[in-house]
Structure formats: C-alpha cells, structure tokens
Amino acid sequence: MAKESIGMQPIKAVYPDGQAREIASPEEALAIFRHSTSHLMAAAVQDLFPGTRLGIGPATEDGFYYDFQTESPFHQEDLEKIEARMSELVRQDLEIQPFLWEKQAAIDYFRGKGEHLKVELIEERAGDTLSCYRLGEMVDFCRGPHMARTGLLADFKLLSNAASYWKGDEKREPLQRIYGTGFFSREDLQGYLHKLEEARKRDHRKLGKDLQLFHIFEMAGPGFVYWLPKGTTLRYELESFTRQEHLRRGYQFVTIPHLARNTLFKTSGHYSFFRENMYVLDIEEEEYVIKPMNCPGHILIYKTGLHSYRDLPIRYAEFGTVYRYEKSGTLHGMLRVRGFTQDDAHIFCTPDQVYSEVLGVIDFAEFILKTFGFEDYKIELSVWDPAHPENYAGTAENWQSAEDALRRALDEKGLRYARKEGEAAFYGPKIDMKLIDAIGREWQATTIQFDFNLPERFDVTYIGPDSAKHRVIMIHRALFGSIERFTGVLLEHFAGALPVWLSPVQVVLIPISERHHEYARQVQGRLTSAGLRVQMDDRNEKMGYKIREAQMQKVPFMLVVGDKEASGGLVSVRNRFQGDEGQCSVEDFLLRLQQLVATRAVQP
RNA sequence: GCCAGCGUAGCUCAGUGGUAGAGCAACUGAUUCGUAAUCAGUAGGUCGUCGGUUCAAUCCCGACCGCUGGCUCCA
C-alpha cells in the first residue's frame, strides 16, 4: 500500500559476520529497517514486562509485528508505554550487535531464559553455528541483517494488538501479537497513516451505508446481507449481464431448492467433511440441510436422464445462494458472509473435452473481469501433493491429465501463473484468479475446480461411443465467485463511483427553481422511457446543495436545467469527475448515455 | 472461536454516578436561487440486551449480542 512512499536514502545493514553492507534496493532497505524496529519493540516489551517470551518478529508488507508469549494480554495503554520505551531506547542509541554462537550454547542460553519457542526454532532451523543479535538486554536468534544502531530507527508507530497462535496453528500456544509500522521519515509515516485514512473512505461497508446499497441487521443475524433497492439494482445489472453471457456461451440455467434431506449431503460427502460449516435443522423428525454448495443439486438434475457423449458438454449454471457457518470473528461486510450467492456452474464433459472446456472458462473469466477494468490478475494453479496420494480422491492419472489441461489452457491464453503443490482441495486441482484492485489489493474471485469425488459418489456417467457407461468429468466454476464479495470489491475498486451501466441512479435532474420543474419532468420522462435510471431533485433547495448531494451519492451525471435550457430543449451536463461540461440537447445526451451503457464503459 | 478496542438520534460524534447534547439528514415555513451546504422553526433517543452494586446507573461490575482490527479459515 505504501510502496511509493519508501524513503530513498541508501542504508547500511549489519550482517551476522559483523560486516556492514550497503543495501541497494529500497524495498529491502525498508524491510530491514522495519525488522530492526520489531526487535526494538521486543526489547522494549521485555524491559517493561519481564518474563515475556519471544515468538517471531518479521517485517511485513506494510510494517512489522512481533509475537509474544505473556502472562496476561496487552491492552491499549500498554502500546503507548511500549512506544515510549522504544523512543527511550532510540535516544540511548544502542548498538544492534550481531554475534555467532555454537548451537548447543545458544540452546542452553535460551532454555535457561525459558524461551522454549526460540529453542524450538533453533532446533529446527539452525546449523552448527547460528547468528544472534543483541539489543540492550534482549538477545534474539535472528539471521539479520539489521540496522547498526537504535538511533537510526526514528519514525515508527504501534498500530494494534491481536491474538495469534504459534506457527499459525490453533492447537499450539496462543500468543499476543503487536503490529506496528516504521518509515525512514516522519513524512513517510504520516503519508502511510493518511493512506489508511483514504482506504477507509473506499471501504465498501461505509459506501454501502452512504450509498444505501445494503445492510446487515443485528436482529436478523450477522453475515446475512439485505440488499436495499439501490443495491438490488446494481446486483440485477451484474446478474443480467452475466446471464446473457452464459447463454451466449452455451450454458443452461437451472434452479434448485435451498433445503434438502441430509441424505443428499451424506451422499456428496459434505455431511462429513463440511459438517462444521453447515446449517442443519429438524423437520418431522428428519434432518434437513440448508445447502452449503450447489453441486449436489446440479448433479441430481444431470441424473434425471441418460446422457450420450454426443450431448456433452453439459453446462448447468445458477445464481445459487448457499449458507455456510463461518466463525464469528471472520465475518467482514460483504467480503465474508454466511449467506451468499455464487455465479455457479458445473460442466459435465468427457475426458477429451476437458481442455477446450477449461480454455472456455478461462476466456469467459477474462472477459468478465476485463469488463470491469480489472486487467491484472494473479493466477494460482493448485495441484496435489504427489507424496501423499492417499489424501486425495481420484487417480494419479486423473490428477495429471487435469493439471495438463489447466496448464495448457493457461499457456494458450498467455497467462502467467504460480503452481502451488499441495494446495489443491482433496477432490481435484484448481485454478484461482485473484484480481488486483485500484489500490493494489488482491481479491479472490474466479475459481475453476476439477472434482473427482462427486462423480464417483453419485455415480455420474455418460454413454460412450462403445455403448458403455463412462465416468463423467466434472468441473466446478464461479467467475465473480460470490455476488456479495464481487460487489464489495467493485465498490472498493471504484471507490463507489460505479460505471454508468451499474449505477443505481445514472442521472439526477436539477431544476434551478420551481418554474423549471415541469421541463425537468419532461426530460426525466424522456430519459426514463429510453431505459435510463433518472431521478429528479425537486426539493426546495439551491442548486449547489443538490449538486453536492448528487456528487456525494456518486451519481454519474447531473443535468442542470434553468431558463436557458428549458427554452431550447437543452440540458447542462455535469459529470461527477470533470464537473460542468456545458450544454447539449436532450437527444444528444441520451445517445451518449445509451452508448456508455451499451458498451459498459468503465469510465464515462 | 481466540485477543484487544468499541456500541449514545437515520448518519458522524460529544458527555456526566443524580433519568442526555451538537452538526448533518428528516419535517414545517420563508426564500426561487446557475455548478459541492440559504435562513428560521419543529420533531426525533428504553444511551446494544439482560443481570448485579448503589438511595440513584447511559456512566461502576458481570454475562450475552453485535461491530472493528488481527490470528485461523474461505466465495
């Protein structure tokens, strides 16, 4: 987030051999600087809270953290005390001093201090000799390098504290993490804090409230999104756009109920491996499940008849709403909810159709994402861990040919990707496409997954040219991912200023005084009957007031009408980005708007 | 779920152990206005919920609910 605000002065960092070397890359320099600041913080914490034991304390993208094992958790006031102590250590300008240690001596030292987490790390990672850094009283096992002295660590701020787990494992020791950030200069630090402020302004939760798009009610339950009229307009535009495109690309739409006997999900296997995420209820002494996935339903539809290889591929699509229990602490606006609608589809095909189907899906995904101006994605190809085939459904042959198809399709499209071994779900390899928004953040959207499990469990087949039954290949895919999440991402990406075709209100008419109301209504009628979403602000307020409100609502176009316009069939056009554009005829404006909508222009 | 912080009018936020205030929005009236806030008036709150301490709780304590930042997980 703060990439461009990295200070440029070259630094010298001290390596474990005691040598100071100049660091050429500004990113690396800043990371070293922050890593040293995290050591500074750890030293301050150990001064103030004797007996606090150390976890790890790396630099991160935007700052640093350090994990501690403490008797009692840190509080807000503690952060201030720690900051003050850090400043004190900066004033003392202590050396951050490297030295080498023989492994057993180091283990004895840390064990003697009760630092068993450090001992664990040393046992895992260290060779016969290892490097440590001393900062005041604190000695830390660390490969460095570090800034030479604490006096160089000027501008830092502690931001928050949080619980974490040793090695990120819920079953291991709970730790206390303190986050902070540091910069080479006060201006850079303030710039970063300012950026955090800016990011908050484009937070989809704030925009959703300000623009009256959606609401989550405490009374109705956390993680359940209610779409207000304006939000629903936006959602319907997204859906009808992608619905048309699905039909054009040979998908058929299906609709399934939200509730099923548990038998359906026992057959699919979700009842055992997805149980903790499912909502279950009793009806007449039978157990029912609220669907957490659409796939079993689509499979039932597939199985209503026999399918010849000539019928394949069959592509079933649905805006399928699913409900999943997510831990309360993970919920986040529209981006992480408990009920959401996937633009889901399942492709049933033969093995030799796999490649072209995957290619088709990738092409579709690119088309969709580019429509919103997302030109950059990060693609991950997740495959199994070949060392543990027993953890996966399907044969080695299945996995290999599926991976080949995914890989060839990515190559064909000229897309770069990272191959992630062991990251696949147990039921098949997958491609994830993460889009990168206007301020550089990544969001998971498109996912394309093979499924070797469900066709087996439901015995899903087709009749081949040999008149025998063959196991179908099933591909599960979602392009937006979920409509809730995608909408949230769009809002943040556009900072609420959505493209015209998606804007709940596309035009606001602003009559200058009451005598222009009638003309404004005529213009509104003309534009509305041509299919635009137009509102008229006929409140008894001054023009500037109405403009201000329309601007804050991010309405793409404001049409000011007064005497000059009413007499000539004109409107004065105000664009939310450029401001006053001058006059044009109602018909010219209409044509222009229709063009923007028809082409789904990202920028008017 | 775990740790910390937070929860006061539709929104943004003040506030105090003695049953609450501002700005904006809303409503009413005046004004009829040329590219980001016209003026005046009115109305609006069981201070998240439930318990406890107290003569008295929005304030202190506890539990619960929810939100925020993280951890874990994920569309």
Per-residue pLDDT, A229: 94
Per-residue pLDDT, A411: 92
The answer to whether some atom of strand B lies closer than 7 Å to the beta carbon of A503 is no
Q: How many CB atoms lie within 10 A of CB A436?
A: 15
User: A334 near A225, Cβ under 8 Å?
Assistant: yes
Point out the residue nearest to B38 (C-alpha to C1').
A542
Q: Which nucleotide is nearest to A515 (CA to C1')?
A: B32
Cα A360 to Cα A248, A403, A451, A595: the distances in Å are 12, 16, 17, 28
Cα A254 to chain centroid distance, Å, stands at 28
**A342 catalytically annotated:** yes
User: A57 near A42, Cβ under 8 Å?
Assistant: yes
A99: β partners: A132
Per-residue pLDDT, A4: 40
The answer to whether some atom of strand B lies closer than 7 Å to the beta carbon of A174 is yes
Active-site hit among A34, A235, A298, A324: A324
When pLDDT is cut at 50, 70 and 90, the band that residue A264 belongs to is very high
Per-residue pLDDT, A5: 40
Q: Is the pLDDT score of A3 beyond 60? A: no
pLDDT digits (tens, 9 = 90+) for A395-435: 888 888 889 999 999 999 999 899 988 888 888 999 999 88
User: A204 near A333, Cβ under 8 Å?
Assistant: yes
The answer to whether some atom of strand B lies closer than 7 Å to the beta carbon of A453 is no
Beta sheet of A96-102, edge-to-edge order: A96-102, A129-135, A138-141
Distance A531 CA to B34 C1' (A): 28
pLDDT digits (tens, 9 = 90+) for A466-491: 999 999 999 999 999 999 999 999 99
In DSSP notation, A161-211 reads EEEEEGGG-TTS-EEEEEEEEEESSHHHHHHHHHHHHHHHHT-HHHHHHHT
The answer to whether some atom of strand B lies closer than 7 Å to the beta carbon of A192 is no
Beta strands in A531-603 (DSSP E): 534-536, 557-561, 570-575, 579-585
Residue type, position A500, single letter: V
Active-site hit among A140, A344, A437, A537: A344
Distance A334 CA to B60 C1' (A): 37
User: A318 near A438, Cβ under 8 Å?
Assistant: no
**A324 catalytically annotated:** yes
Domains of chain A with bracketed CATH = 3-199 (3.30.980.10), 206-256+294-493 (3.30.930.10), 500-598 (3.40.50.800)
Point out the residue nearest to B7 (C-alpha to C1').
A218
